[in-house]
Structure 1
Amino acid sequence: MGDSRLIQGRYRLLDLIGRGGMGEVWRARDESLGRRITVKCLKPLGPQRDNAFTGVLRERFRREARVAAALQHRGVTVVHDFGEHEGVLYLVMELLEGRNLSQLLEDNKQHPLPVDDIVEIAAQVSDALAYTHEQGIVHRDLKPANIVRLVDGTVKICDFGIARLGHDIGFTSRLTSTGIAMGTPHYMSPEQISGDAVDQRSDLYSFGCVLYEIATGAPPFDLEDAWAVLVGHRDTEPEPPSTHRAGLPRYLEGIVLDLLAKEPSGRPADARELNRRIGAGRAGRAVAGDAGGHADGGPPPTASRPEQPPSREPRLPSWTRSMTTGHKANAAARQMAPPDPAMGLTGEWIAREGPREDLSTGLGGRGSIPSPEHLARLTGRHHAGLSLGRLGRWEEAGEVHRAVAAEREHLLGPDHPDTLASHGEVALSLSRTGRSADALRAYTQVAEGRERVLGSDHPDTLAARHETAYVLGRLGRHFEAHQVYASVLAARVRTIGPDHPDTLRCRHNLAYNLSRIGRLEDSYRMARDVAGARARILGATHPDTLVTRYEVGYALGRLGRWTEALQTYREVARARAHALGSDHPDTLAARYEAGLSLGRLGRSAEALKLYRDLIDDRTRVDGPTGPETLRARHGLGVNLGRLGRWEEALAEARDVHAIRERTLGRDHPDTLVSRREIAVGLGWLGRWADALTAYREVAGARERVLGPGHPDTLASRGDEAHCLEQLGRVTEAGELYRQVAAVRQQRPRNGY
């Protein structure tokens, strides 16, 4: 927001309250009125071309902000003002002095809140929802963090329209997208999860999840796996709250279970009815529709509810069943209610001139005006693809996004932002499934399209170019990756500043890439500077800070500064254990690198102990054949060899190799590393003829997979030549050494 920290000469930013995917929240002062306020500064649009699309974005922001500002109720956060300052859109709101419900649960050590507090919160929130729903406004992201109890006992709902603003103005990333991706799935209604149109009853379901959590200490489907949570919301009846907390008033349990009905028609008709039921329950009388409000202690509230057996395996909503083939959706797609006008931008894109569509079908050729219903279906399918990706189901996600991209391109044109967003997700799925060359082509297409539509410095354009550089690195084209990273970094420093999280992410990746092109000192200095900046801005134990400190350790190791590398990895491992848990994959990865450093320092006895403990932990977490378990076993074998225990080292290498060959394949890089370790052990045991066979197998496989000029292939040919020397075949060894030297001289021209 500039060095003055003053917006429009009026709003003085004082301290940063929080930062997220959409921007920053500041405690501030209104200099004109002398009152304390909150200012939400949304992520900057950045310089971009003057086109209709930019106008739509700003108009959508103004419309949503006006809607939020028009809400006048004691239970809704007041929006005082909104505007744009130096390319940053901002909202000015009242400053709330209190704790949100998530914080109240944390303060209570995750124990449920007192019943009187729960009922009071329910009454106030239902009254506020009744008011907002009567204004035609649906929140869509109701959760404990968005409900605040002030110090005087007033309860307020926050962020009406804010989540949708993030989507409409293009602030979302894969970590903060709307729909399925928005926040946690623990409070999402079944219709939201399925991508259906939502109304006020979706908010009632989300509020039922909130009440369930503050009444029991956990949400209704408290599962670690996101997919299991989604399936629970969609297919499984929740356990009555009384199974977790005895003594809850029966009327309250009945209300919560009715709010959690799978079908919207099974929930209270509206928030006003909900409020009446809460009031009647407090007064000890029953009202129509209150299954659990009998003052005489009648049957449990679940007695009249038909039981549905839980699904045995997760399944997608019905509308996704035809989406995994990559073909366009059938024209006979089911009808939906008209979408909310704030759902997305697709309905306001100006299509090219061309044949008009038959609006009764919602389908037409390129250049036609697609119906809102059809666009809403595509948006729902796009969100389903995002959900699959977050669950690691990248093949299925790619098929969904490919189908949506084809339809959007047909209906909206290749350069429409929604079309490009779908192509971007296709590229991500290709990258995640190892198809880096295909991902590079897709990201290049997206970057070029966004540059034409949005401009070269737009955040979305830069994000696509950043991904292009990442994929270039995955392909071993590090010099090209360096050029792209450097260009993106310069643009981000220019447009959003050197300390913006996106800028620091780019600098982190550039530091990593510098080490791959041999600029080790530059890599170390940049990683060290990024770690310092992230510690200053995010905190010393923030995961992003620790990721960069991990990279500092790697750079130190490449420089041979193993004592410093060991210290760095140990500090990162301790911080991750505290912040993420001792069994978190990132914690275990830092411990592995600490063991590698010990070995490099000649402290192999200590490394052995570390690796044995790590193998036990990895086996418990990942299983005995997990890739990281086998990596730890490989480290154990290497250090057995360093201690001269070559028979044990060879046995370990053979065992790991056999598992890797079976689970990963004969020519997988990890399998080849183990086969080389077998050759090393054979050589140290004096079995050079057997070692030569193993070295040649490794060299041949690497040449097939990586090419004759790849550094790993050349290293294997060098191993082969050394083995020939040991066998007295000096002439053959010399010829092979000369061939390797000749190829290495050509390496820069080959791009390695």
Structure 2
Amino acid sequence: MADTRLIQSRYRLLELIGRGGMGEVWRALDESLGRQVAVKCLKPMGPQHDQAFTRVLRERFRREARVAASLQHRGVTVVHDFGEYEGVLYLVMELLDGQNLSQLLEENQQHPLPVEHVVDIAEQVADALGYTHRQGIVHRDLKPANIMRLTDGTVKICDFGIARLGHDISMTSRLTTTGLAMGTPHYMSPEQISGKEVDHRSDLYSLGCVLYEIATGVPPFDQEDAWAVLVGHRDTPPEPLRTHRAELPGFFDRVVLDLLAKAPEQRPVDAGDLRRRIVLGRTGEQPALGPGPLAQPGPGLPPAPRERALPAWTRSMTAGHRATGATGPHAERPDPAAGLTGQWTTARATAPHTGSFVSVSAAPPAPDLLAGLEGRHSAGIDLGRLGRWEEAGEVHREVAAQRGRVLGPDHPDTLASHYEIGLTLSRTGRAEEALHEFARVAEGRERALGADHPQTLAARQATAHALGRLGRHAEAHQLYETVLAVRERVMGPDHPDTLRCRHNLAFTLCRLGRPEESWRLAREVADARARVLGPTHPDTLATRYEVAYTLGRLGRWAEALATYQDVARARADVLGADHPDTFAARYEAGISLGRLGRDTEALELYRSLVADRTRTAGAADPETLRARHGLGVNLGRLGRWEEALAEARDVCALRERALGPDHPDTVISRREVAAGLGWLGRWSEALVAYRQVAEARTRTLGPDHPQTLAARDDEAHCLERLAQA
């Protein structure tokens, strides 16, 4: 392959940038899209390899390439394409600008990384692992070489080369019987070493090994002999990190030691729990020290560093039972920051706005209760991902109520549940209630975590989104601008969260009737996202979609069409041809074709879109009906009014059953029925339909709304035509 230097007449290999036991990684040019990518080539298997081994290896590569390509998270390397060329398997990924953690350590002459970098890396990797584990994927080979820190500070997990679907046990057993090495000794969990079934907690152990090394400069078990390393993982308790490096925060020492628990059930419940503990640890502040001598550290330990003060909600904490159930030399070593680790829980909390205490529980909640609530919280999130928003809302409401009782109303876990309630309300069209929920979370997080904390900003941004859903765009605009100013100051102008806020601001400007400003801002955000995330990252494509929308509002339909078509092609490559976002871009391209008078092309586009939507989502899905509505409109534009009327009537009836008679989509379809009747000269029937439209808009929008007044004008025009008949 290196001789031809061109794969599939598309990917031109430019420079070898990495080589391992199983293959090579090249910097390459995707000549179809004009972008630079990384291409990983799996070495061809020679005749010395068993054919069954080769067959299994290829099967695993194809399966897991599809899995990797489905992952969409800023903390996971984006996979663009994969395939086989001249007997060589290849994977096409985003080209990352940065260094892996192994390189950073080597560059630092094996000295540990700065503390703030270590903690930030831990939080970002925990967030990414939480996402992949919720998809049912276990990495199985986390190590410094597989974690990249980009030049902008973003951390990405790379190389899901031996990852597997969590439920795919049979595939794993077949692979391990071939003798294929699964994992790297310095970072393997005890259960992985013993050949037992592994789950997401094995990745948490490996992450603990990685964090130990970048925080101290050495792995937890640093023997030269591989067998001695494996025995260490299996049998030897690791030394506390602060025996190597005294300035490490106490909470971080405990978090990593908990990750390195020998038994999986003694580690954090999941990556979400891990991330929560890190976030709480990062936001703590040093409490004021009272009079009297300081407590002496335990034997053999250096003096503990001064901790920062705790957030307000931790002031009434009491030393309870360890949530992890850990025993031995590292169990129950309370210090002023214990509350930030998630190991201790509140016995009472301060009532908001009053300063008085309210009873939460007579004793600290049992660890299994907290773990059960965390599991139900995750289950609620999973229900939402399946589109079962009503059920998800019920789960989150129950968990929020119980967390409020046992942890307090301002505890981050309680607020996290209320945030999820807000999301479910927003998804089920209850924007007013969602607004109330998000505002409550924002206020609670500001008290607990501070005004500039990322979680506080996320809640305020969600509040602005809810305001926009209610049509209160001026208020949303003001709030977005406030949040953006903080994000730019705290995170920098190119941080993905800052760019997301700027994207939302551009969206709001357009809804305020300021399309020129919206277009300029959206174009800037699209360029920045392309630079930071890559030109085909879903977020970049979402902003380019907004650029196209603003171009349409400015009447620049040819440019809008070209942009929508580019976005549709890129989304088909990145997300798949049947992804809803790909369909959405195709739908808007049809709108643009119609605006340009290219009705025949628009009609054909909508025919294909209706077929694809019906195949993937069903005939009664709202988006299928939206595509059918577009089909009917273009039939009318071509003068095929009998067909247009039949289509409009079918869509109207389906929408009325699914959405109700006064839903805006139903009313639009009824107006299309009236228009078809009018064009066919059936004015008395058209009058009935136009009156139904006007009455529905009066009920839902009010008598003076512009759309209601337009419906009354249609009714008056119909009466005039009847008078002339």
Q: Shorter-normalised TM-score: what interval? A: 0.5 to 0.7
**What's the counterpart of residue 614 of structure 1?**
609
Whether contact under 8 Å (1:650, 1:681) holds in the other structure is yes
User: Which of the residues 360, 370, 381 maps onto 1:366?
Assistant: 360
Secondary structure at the counterpart of residue 449 of structure 1:
helix
Letter in structure 1 aligned against 2:688: T
Q: What's the offset of the Cα at 1:120? A: 4.9
Deviations 1:374-429, CA, capped at 9 Å, x for gaps: 33332232222222222222222212221221122222222122221111111111
Matches of 1:19 and 1:469 in 2, distance apart?
A: 23
Give, as a single letter, the amino acid of the residue that structure 2 aligns with 1:597. S
Q: 1:348 aligns to what?
A: 344
Partner of 1:119: 179
Q: Does 1:604 align with 2:599?
A: yes
Q: CA deviation at 1:599?
A: 0.7
Q: What is the Cα deviation at residue 580 of structure 1?
A: 1.8
Q: Give the C-alpha shift of residue 484 in structure 1.
A: 1.2
Matches within 5 A, 1:594-743: 594-727=589-722
Structure having greater relative contact order (Cα 8 Å, sep ≥ 6): 1
Q: For 1:29-87, what per-residue CA distance to the aligned partner results, in whole angstroms no more than 9, with x for missing partners?
A: 46985469989976998xxxxxxxxxxx9xx99xxxxxxxxxxxxx98579xxxxxxxx
* CA distance in 2 between partners of 1:573 and 1:90 (Å): 27
Q: Is the 8 A contact 1:566 1:594 kept in 2?
A: yes
Secondary structure of the residue that 1:692 maps to in structure 2? helix
Amino acid of the structure 1 residue aligned with 2:365: S
Verify the 8 A CA contact 1:24 1:41 in the aligned structure 2: no
Q: Could you give the per-residue CA deviations for residues 462-512 of structure 1, whole angstroms, max 9, x where no partner exists?
A: 101111111111111111111111111111111101111111111111111
**Residues 84-110 of structure 1 deviation map (CA, whole Å, 9 limit, x = unaligned):** xxxx9999xxx99x96534899xxxxx
Pair 386,40 (structure 1): closer, same or farther in 2 beyond 3 Å: farther
What secondary structure sits across from 1:549 in the alignment? helix
Does the alignment pair 1:550 with 2:545?
Answer: yes
Name the CA distance, whole Å, in 2 between partners of 1:418 and 1:464: 14
Aligned-pair distance for 1:116? 8.2
Q: 2:161 matched to which residue of 1?
A: 101
Pairwise mapping of residues 19-418 of structure 1 onto structure 2 (< 5 A)? 19-20=74-75, 26-27=99-100, 29=104, 34=109, 77=143, 101-102=161-162, 118-122=178-182, 128-130=188-190, 140-142=201-203, 199-200=263-264, 338=325, 345-352=341-348, 365-366=359-360, 368-373=362-367, 374-418=369-413
Give SS of 2:684's match: helix
User: Between Structure 1 and Structure 2, how many residues are aligned?
Assistant: 496
Instruction: Work out whether residues 565 and 597 of structure 1, in 8 Å CA contact, stay in contact via their aligned partners in 2.
Output: yes
Deviation at 1:199, TM superposition (A): 3.8
C-alpha change, 1:603 and 1:132, in structure 2 (3 Å) is closer
Superposed displacement of residue 545, structure 1: 0.9
Given that 1:514 and 1:522 are in contact with CA atoms closer than 8 Å, whether structure 2 keeps it comes out as yes
Q: Would the aligned equivalents of 2:189 and 2:202 in 1 still touch at CA under 8 Å? A: no
Report the CA distance between 1:666 and its aligned residue. 1.6
Change (3 A) 1:153 1:523: farther
- Bigger drift between 707-716 and 683-692 goes to 707-716
Letter in 1 for 2:593: L
Asked whether the 8 Å contact 2:346–2:406 carries over to 1, the reply is no
Summarize the Cα distance change of 1:353–1:713 in structure 2 as closer, same or farther, 3 Å threshold: closer
Shift of 1:715: 3.1
Shift of residue 24, structure 1, vs aligned partner: 11
Q: 1:702 Cα shift?
A: 1.9
Q: CA deviation at 1:567?
A: 0.5
Contact 2:629 2:651 (C-alpha < 8 Å) held by counterparts = yes
Q: What secondary structure sits across from 1:101 in the alignment?
A: coil
Q: 1:449 to 1:104 in 2, by over 3 A?
A: closer
Partner of 2:426: 431
Task: Tell me the amino acid that sits aligned with residue 179 of structure 2.
Answer: V
Question: CA 1:697/1:426 → structure 2, altered by over 3 Å: closer, same or farther?
Answer: same
Q: 1:129, CA displacement in angstroms?
A: 2.6
SS at match of 1:121: coil
CA shift at 1:663, angstroms? 2.4
User: What is the alpha-carbon distance in structure 1 between the residues aligned to residue 118 and residue 427 of structure 2?
Assistant: 27
| TM-score of the superposed pair, with normalisation by structure 2 | 0.59
Look up the equivalent residue of 1:424 and give its one-letter code.
Y
Q: Please state how far the C-alpha of 1:596 moved relative to its aligned partner.
A: 1.0
The one-character-per-residue Cα deviations of 1:497-556 (angstroms, maximum 9, x if unpaired) are 111111111111111111111111111111111111111111111111111111111111
Mapped partners of 1:536, 1:139: distance in 2: 33
| Cα distance change on mapping 1:33 and 1:423 into 2, 3 Å | closer
Offset at 1:588?
Answer: 1.6
SS across alignment from 2:501: helix
% identical equivalent positions: 56
- Following the alignment from structure 1 to structure 2, what is the Cα–Cα distance between the partners of residues 459 and 201? 30
Q: Secondary structure of the residue that 2:694 maps to in structure 1?
A: helix
Q: Distance in 2 between matches of 1:30 and 1:127?
A: 16
2:205 & 2:623 partners in 1: Cα distance? 37
Q: Tell me: CA distance 1:566–1:684, structure 2 relative to 1, closer, same or farther (3 Å).
A: same
Compared CA separation, residues 506 and 32, structure 1 to 2 (3 A): closer
Structure 2 residue ranges without an equivalent (≥5): 1-36, 39-72, 78-95, 128-140, 146-151, 166-170, 211-223, 241-247, 253-260, 271-322, 332-337, 351-357
- The question of whether the paired residues in 1 share the 8 Å contact of 2:324 and 2:343 is answered with no
| 1:300-347 C-alpha deviation (Å, 9 max, x unpaired) | xxxxxxxxxxxxxxxxxxxxxxxxxxxxxxxxxxxx984898998544
Give the Cα–Cα distance (whole angstroms) in 2 for the partners of residues 349 and 709 of structure 1: 55
CA 1:600/1:131 → structure 2, altered by over 3 Å: closer, same or farther?
A: closer
1:593 matched to 2:588? The reply is yes
Secondary structure, in 3 states, of the residue corresponding to 2:426? helix
Letter in 2 for 1:631: R
Whole-angstrom distance in 2 between the partners of 1:76 and 1:676: 58
Q: 475, 484, 491: which is aligned to 1:480?
A: 475
| Structure 1 Cα separation of the partners of residues 107 and 585 of structure 2 | 52
Q: Structure 2 counterpart of 1:426, which letter?
A: I
The answer to whether the Cα contact below 8 Å between 1:630 and 1:656 also exists between their aligned partners in 2 is yes
Are residues 550 and 141 of structure 1, via their aligned partners in 2, closer, same or farther at CA, if it must alter by over 3 Å?
Answer: farther
Shift of 1:671: 1.1
Q: Secondary structure at the match of 2:201?
A: coil
Q: Deviations over 1:638-694 (max 9, x none)?
A: 111112222221121112112222222222221111100011112222333322221
How far did residue 126 of structure 1 move? 11
TM-score (norm 1): 0.57
- Aligned residue for 2:557? 562
Say yes or no: does 1:575 pair with 2:604. Answer: no
Q: Which amino acid is the alignment partner of residue 719 of structure 1? A: D
CA contact (8 A) 1:140 1:202 kept: no
Shift in CA distance, 458/595, structure 1 to aligned 2, threshold 3 Å: same
Partner deviation per Cα, 1:239-290 (whole Å, 9 max, x = no partner): xxxxxxxxxxxxxxxxxxxxxxxxxxxxxxxxxxxxxxxxxxxxxxxxxxxx
Task: Give, in whole Å, the separation in 1 of the partners of 2:477 and 2:373.
Answer: 36
